[in-house]
């Protein structure tokens, strides 16, 4: 994975035991994760109530610098995006002016998060803000991926919104990797997100590239929210009636 997604890596996790004391921490590098012991530790050693890890494959000439490295942490939220929303400036009118001025890098992904932050500032809860953002941006980016993960002290949210997005075969071809060296499912199901619920209630989300055969695909154009205290979850399919899964939040 780090041979292709070599333009930086990052991790965000929760520190603290109770909702009142929890904070979202981050560790990021604009360099490849290959051979980086910090990435190995994040994947195998770090203990936390919840964590997300992102390996970056930069698109559209975006520079590899700390300000452009995922996950972004703003207002106590961590956010990582898999996709390209161009032109990124098309989102600016959907971002509150005071939040637009807080942008630190030049990625579309940070702007995507800023739209969500704008919804939060308007009084929506995190789940609703994520859903409203996808619905608002989809007409602007009808065939682009908005797949993303959001981590807050109390929620883990997976956005699977890439139904009509084209697989970036040009980036794979330009990588110099052989077909055998490309990560699993990248050619055929690059944007497909899946989940697995373990016997103890733990929920894991993952994109292609990992050995996740037999995991449950998330519905297309959907947002899934997991309560980190109860491990109950709700999946909402956008443009249609909500889908209720076992152990649903209400």
Structural domain span for residue 227 = 9-237
Gap between the Cα atoms of 77 and 28, Å rounded: 15
Say what the pLDDT of residue 42 is. Answer: 81
pLDDT for the residue numbered 175: 73
> What pLDDT, on a 0 to 100 scale, did the predictor assign at position 241?
38
Q: How much is the pLDDT for 239? A: 78
* pLDDT number for residue 221: 97
Domain membership flag for residue 132: yes
| pLDDT value for 177 | 72
Q: Give strand pairing partners of 222.
A: 160, 237
Look at residue 248 and tell me if it is in a domain.
no
Q: What is the pLDDT of residue 170?
A: 76
Beta strands in the chain, from DSSP E residues, in sequence order? 9-15, 23-29, 51-55, 72-74, 77-82, 147-151, 155-160, 194-197, 203-206, 216-217, 222-227, 233-237
Q: Could you tell me if residue 127 is inside a domain?
A: yes
Decide if 3 is inside a domain: no
pLDDT reported for residue 60: 65
Question: How many CB atoms are closer than 10 A to CB 31?
Answer: 14
Q: What angle do CA 49, 127, 72 make, to 5 degrees?
A: 60
Q: Residue 158 class from Cβ within 10 Å (0-12 exposed, 13-18 middle, 19+ buried)?
A: buried
Classify residue 192: in a domain, yes or no.
Answer: yes
Domain holding 59: CATH number? 3.60.20.10
- Does residue 244 lie in a domain region? no
pLDDT at 169: 74
pLDDT for position 219: 96
Count of domains for the chain: 1
Q: Show the low-confidence residues of the chain (pLDDT under 50).
A: 240-246, 248, 250
Task: Give a yes or no: residue 246 inside a domain.
Answer: no
Question: What pLDDT score was predicted for residue 6?
Answer: 64
Residue 178 lies in a domain: yes
């Amino acid at each position: 994975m780090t041979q292709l997604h070599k333009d930086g890596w990052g991790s965000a996790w929760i520190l603290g035991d109770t909702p009142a004391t929890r904070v979202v921490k981050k560790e990021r590098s604009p360099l490849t994760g290959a051979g980086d012991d910090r990435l190995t530790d994040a994947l195998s050693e770090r203990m936390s109530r919840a964590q997300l890890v992102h390996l970056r494959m930069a698109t559209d000439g975006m520079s590899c610098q700390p300000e452009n490295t995922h996950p972004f942490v703003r207002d106590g939220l961590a956010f990582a995006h898999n996709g390209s929303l161009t032109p990124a400036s098309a989102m600016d009118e959907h971002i509150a002016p005071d939040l637009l001025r807080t942008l630190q890098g030049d990625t579309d992904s940070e702007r995507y998060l800023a739209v969500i932050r704008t919804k939060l500032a308007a009084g929506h809860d995190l789940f609703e803000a994520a859903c409203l953002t996808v619905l608002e941006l989809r007409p602007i980016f009808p065939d682009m991926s908005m797949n993303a993960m959001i981590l807050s002290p109390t929620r883990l949210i997976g956005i699977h919104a890439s139904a009509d997005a084209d697989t970036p075969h040009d980036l794979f071809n330009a990588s110099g990797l052989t077909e055998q060296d490309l990560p699993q499912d990248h050619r055929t199901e690059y944007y497909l997100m899946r989940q697995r619920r373990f016997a103890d209630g733990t929920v894991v989300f993952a994109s292609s590239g990992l050995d996740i055969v037999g995991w449950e695909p998330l519905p297309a154009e959907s947002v899934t929210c997991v309560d980190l205290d109860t491990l109950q979850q709700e999946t909402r399919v956008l443009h249609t009636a909500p889908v209720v899964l076992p152990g649903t939040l209400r």
